[in-house]
Amino acid sequence: MSKFIITGGKSLSGQIEVKGAKNSALKILPAALLTEEVVSISNLPDIEDVRRSIELLAGLGAQVNQTSPNSCLIKAKNIKKFELKEELAPIRAAVLSAWVNGRLICLWKASLP
The pLDDT of residue 42: 94
List the one residue out of 22, 21, 29 whose CA is nearest residue 53.
29
| Residue 59, helix vs strand vs coil | helix
Q: Number of H helices and number of E strands within the chain? A: 3, 3
All structural domains of the chain: 22-108 (3.65.10.10)
Whether 39 has a pLDDT exceeding 80, the answer reads yes
The pLDDT of residue 90: 61
Q: Using an 8 Å Cβ cutoff, are 89 and 83 in contact?
A: no
Q: Indicate the pTM of the whole model.
A: 0.67
pLDDT in tens, 60-83: 788 999 999 899 999 988 776 666
Q: State the pairing for strand pair 63-68/71-75.
A: antiparallel
